[in-house]
Every structure is written in structure tokens, then in C-alpha cells.
């Protein structure tokens, strides 16, 4: 008897077991609550499973995407043709003032664990959603600080899971919302961060302050889905036309330019510019990725026309981009 040829799904299931999901809606895994289905989806809770998933995808020739907390992502309405691997390896071990962290750990949860051990440093980032891996990938930060400055080294693997190695922080070339991983992709498995001895009450005070600032200024992503700031702030040498020249000052916020061109409250379908922050797009109902892209194109065009500068997206796009027609391409 001729045995039927195993399907791709059967091959993957043999490698990954019952944790493998098919046609999994990615809107369930992003803070924007937008995104069509992934052909295959697998949450890896231990590093061996993470590497096994990458190897299986590589052997079967399937495109793979590494997902953290999904808080900096806009996923196509058509979803993703391939395997989405969610890094859910979240073990944290402390060694004096250093912490060895599974990159699937939730960033805020890590900050609370540090507070409980009276370890100070990361509390500036309280309220940045997502995983530690996602934070390292984009060197997440705020108020002039970023996670890269606390990094000693990270353990990474090649995308096909064939080579696991540990690299010092310098290798990652951390910069403003940027790391080498954006140009030279690897999967972050774990990292070693350097903290300093602190005081629990003082750390908690900073956490409370940061969370309160966000509560007042930012959407609460669990009720007003969003991916945070949509565009990066301007390069450090960029000056607002007409403004007093002030070299060496911090970046001009993209939100300032977007405000000048009246973007607050702009809406395309259910994609809307947040009323309290012109650089944040919220999903005000059942927004599609197309609507968000159309809205973002209008925002960019307004800034380009008034200031002659091209805003650069901070939010990443996953999947196939639709062709934008009509007003979005022109305004």
C-alpha cells in the first residue's frame, strides 16, 4: 500500500506537538487587535522548543516570524503565510545585581520582579508593553533612557535555529529605537541585564509616576487598542523651521509636527488618531490594517508638505502590504 505523503501541517505537528495552532487570528496577539490569520502559530515556553520551531520551519522551507508581546506591530488583514513563533520563554534568575532573563518575559513583570529584589534601573520603562525580547529588538525606551544601556550580553540564535551564541551588548549596536537585529536578524533567547542596588519604596514611586503619566497621556491599550507611537521622533539634528536653533537638544517629537498639521482626531474607518496624542493611532472599533495604513499615509503626507520631512514608521508591519489608492497616497 502506498503511504500518503505527510502534509506540511503533519510535519510541523510531529516536530512541535499539539501546541501547534493553524489559522490563528493574529489580532488576538497584538495590542492593536488587528491582523488576519497565521497559517501556523506556536508558543514556545522553553528555549529548546523555540529552537525546535525555528529548525522545523527552516527544514520545511516555511517563512517564520518571531512574535513577542505584539505591541509594536501592525499585522496585515491577510495575516501571515508561514509560522509565527511566540517567544514565551520567561524564566528570570537573579545573580547579585544582574538578572538573567528569558526574552519572552513580560517587561513590566520583570520591572516588578526587580523592585521586589530592590534592584533599580528599569523602572523608567514601566508601562512599555511587550516582552523583553521585543524591547531589545527595537531598543525600547523613553525619557532619554533605553533597555540597551542595561544590557551586558544576549544569547541569540540564527533564524534557522542552527547556531546558538552569546554576544556582548556592543555587538547589538543599540541606538535610538534601533539595534543590529533589524538589519542582521537573529532570535533573542535570553539576556543578561545589569541593575543596581536600590530601595523598594523609591523604585515603586518611580513606577507609579511613570504609569500615571501614561494613564493620563496615552491610550490604555487593553480598552483602546494601539501599538503606541506610530512614527519615530525626528533625527537629533533636525530643527523645526522657524524655531530657535538649539543644537544638542533632544529629538523633536513626531507628535509635535503631527499636531501642527492638525492630525488629532483624524479618522479613516475605525483607525483614528488619538485625541490626546497626535502620534498615536488607535483602533476605535474594528479597524483594518488597510485603514491604519491609509491614515498613516495621510499623516505622513501632511508633515511632508508642511515641513519637507519624511516621518519614519516606528510600528512594524507584518505580512503583505496592500496597495493604497485614493486620497491616502496623495494627501
Ligand X SMILES: Cc1cc2nc3c(=O)[nH]c(=O)nc-3n(C[C@H](O)[C@H](O)[C@H](O)COP(=O)(O)OP(=O)(O)OC[C@H]3O[C@@H](n4cnc5c(N)ncnc54)[C@H](O)[C@@H]3O)c2cc1C
Residues in contact with ligand X by CB under 6 A are 31, 66-73, 87, 103, 128-131, 133-135, 137-138, 140-142, 177, 181, 187-188, 218, 221, 226-228, 316
- If one counts every other C-beta atom within 10 angstroms of the C-beta of residue 192, the result is 19
Q: Specify the residue, 115 or 277, whose C-beta has the smaller distance to ligand X.
A: 277
CB of 130 to ligand X, least distance (A): 3
Cβ proximity to ligand X: between 66 and 119 the closer is: 66
Q: How many CB atoms lie within 10 A of CB 231?
A: 24
**152 Cα distance to chain centroid:** 21
What's the min distance (Å) between Cβ of 231 and ligand X? 12
Name the residue among 135, 157, 165, 153 with its Cα closest to residue 228.
Answer: 135
Q: Are 294 and 268 in contact, with CB atoms under 8 Å apart?
A: yes
CB 280 within 8 A of CB 295: no
**Cβ 29 to ligand X shortest distance, Å:** 8
String of b and e for 4-18 (b: at least 16 CB within 10 Å)? eeeeeeeebbebbee
Looking at the Cβ atoms of 86 and 301, the one nearer to ligand X is 86
Catalytic amino acids?
177, 229, 314
- Shortest spacing between CB 47 and ligand X, in angstroms: 11
The nearer residue to ligand X, 47 or 198, going by C-beta atoms, is 47
CB of 329 to ligand X, least distance (A): 25
Q: Is 107 exposed, middle or buried (0-12, 13-18, 19+ CB in 10 A)?
A: buried
Q: Which is nearer to ligand X, 64 or 301 (CB)?
A: 64
Burial category of 266 from C-beta neighbours within 10 Å (exposed 0-12, middle 13-18, buried 19 and up): middle
Amino acid at each position: 500500500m502506498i503511504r500518503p505523503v505527510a502534509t506540511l501541517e503533519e510535519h510541523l505537528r510531529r516536530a512541535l506537538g499539539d501546541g501547534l495552532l493553524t489559522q490563528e487570528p493574529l489580532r488576538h496577539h497584538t495590542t492593536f487587535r488587528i491582523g488576519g490569520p497565521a497559517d501556523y502559530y506556536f508558543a514556545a515556553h522553553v528555549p529548546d522548543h523555540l529552537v525546535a520551531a525555528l529548525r522545523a520551519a527552516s527544514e520545511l522551507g516555511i517563512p517564520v516570524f518571531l512574535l513577542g508581546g505584539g505591541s509594536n506591530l501592525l499585522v496585515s488583514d491577510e495575516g501571515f503565510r508561514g509560522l509565527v513563533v511566540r517567544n514565551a520563554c520567561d524564566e528570570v534568575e537573579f545573580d547579585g545585581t544582574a538578572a538573567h532573563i528569558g526574552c519572552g518575559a513580560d517587561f513590566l513583570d520583570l520591572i516588578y520582579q526587580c523592585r521586589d529584589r530592590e534592584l533599580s534601573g528599569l523602572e523608567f520603562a514601566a508601562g512599555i508593553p511587550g516582552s523583553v525580547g521585543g524591547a531589545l529588538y527595537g531598543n525600547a525606551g523613553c525619557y532619554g533612557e533605553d533597555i540597551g544601556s542595561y544590557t551586558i550580553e544576549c544569547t541569540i540564535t540564527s533564524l534557522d535555529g542552527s547556531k546558538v551564541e552569546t554576544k556582548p551588548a556592543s555587538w547589538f549596536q543599540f541606538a535610538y529605537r534601533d539595534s543590529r537585529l533589524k538589519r542582521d536578524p537573529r532570535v533573542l533567547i535570553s539576556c543578561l541585564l545589569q541593575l543596581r542596588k536600590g530601595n523598594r519604596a523609591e523604585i515603586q514611586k518611580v513606577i507609579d509616576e511613570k504609569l500615571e503619566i501614561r494613564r493620563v497621556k496615552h491610550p490604555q491599550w487593553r480598552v483602546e487598542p494601539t501599538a503606541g507611537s506610530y512614527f519615530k521622533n525626528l533625527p537629533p539634528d533636525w530643527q523645526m523651521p522657524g524655531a530657535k536653533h538649539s543644537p544638542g537638544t533632544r529629538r523633536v517629537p513626531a507628535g509635535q509636527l503631527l499636531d501642527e498639521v492638525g492630525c488629532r482626531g483624524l479618522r479613516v474607518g475605525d483607525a483614528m488618531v488619538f485625541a490626546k496624542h497626535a502620534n498615536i493611532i488607535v483602533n476605535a472599533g474594528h479597524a483594518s490594517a488597510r485603514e491604519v495604513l491609509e491614515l498613516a499615509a495621510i499623516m505622513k503626507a501632511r508633515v511632508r508638505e508642511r515641513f519637507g520631512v519624511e516621518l519614519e514608521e516606528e510600528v512594524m508591519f507584518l505580512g503583505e502590504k496592500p496597495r493604497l489608492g485614493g486620497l491616502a497616497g496623495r494627501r
